[in-house]
Amino acid sequence: MSNKITLDNKDFEFNESFLPCLVTGACKSGASYFSVTLAGKLIQQGSKVIYFTAFPMAKEELLNQIGNEKTFDVLNDVDIANIPEDKSIIVQSGNKDLWTKVIQGINNINDYIIFVKNIEEYDNSIFEIIGENKKILLSGDLDNCMYKENLVQKEWVSKIIFTVPKIDLNINIPNLEKYESYLDSKDTEGVLRLVK
């Protein structure tokens, strides 16, 4: 079941033009579910995504939202050689070594959006591998991220903020209700909501 996203109470279509994008929010803020929904919407639009999360519940939620016809699971090294060119890739949750092999082993990496959820669970090596890529969607709790300074210095096309982090993002964020977020993008800003 797909969710609808609104921006200032009007329908909103998140697409590749908003990338690279950073989604940040504390635990239980809604940032996690929202970022999974963004990745799902990109896949539904026909984008190919390399989907990597620290925990398997996010994979289950993605598949609950979009089904599994457009995705391919990578659970081991053998799977990397068999990735279909027309599918998004779901890397085994929490397996950073396998994720690194996928990222480094795909010849057409620029054809993919790289989605990493739970950035606070990993060290800076994740960002070192993909930081220069333009098509990235990173999500997690910035306050608990070891490399938050590096993330803040990156030039993001979009930032989606659920809870104001301690580190300064140079964004004037309005008061938000629970599960609301603020989109700060080059051409667009406002309050985002998920409507189920």
How is domain 4-195 classified at the CATH fold level?
Rossmann fold (3.40.50)
Report yes or no: 10 and 3 within 8 Å, Cβ to Cβ: no
Tens digits of residue pLDDT in 167-178: 999 899 999 998
pLDDT at 2 over 80: no
Q: What is the mean pLDDT of residues 3-14?
A: 94
Q: What does the pLDDT read at residue 176?
A: 93
Secondary structure (H, E, C), 39-62: HHHHHHCCCEEEEECCCHHHHHHH
Question: How many C-beta neighbours within 10 Å does residue 156 have?
Answer: 19
Tens digits of residue pLDDT in 142-162: 999 999 999 999 999 999 999
- Mean residue pLDDT of the chain comes to 94
Q: What is the mean pLDDT of residues 96-125?
A: 95
Going from N- to C-terminal start, the domains of the chain cover 4-195
Reported confidence tier of residue 1, pLDDT bands at 50, 70, 90? low
If we measure between CA atoms, which residue out of 120, 63, 74 comes closest to residue 97? 74
Q: What does the pLDDT read at residue 41?
A: 96
Reported confidence tier of residue 107, pLDDT bands at 50, 70, 90? confident
What is the percentage of the chain residues whose pLDDT exceeds 90? 92
In angstroms, the CA 21 to CA 27 distance is 19
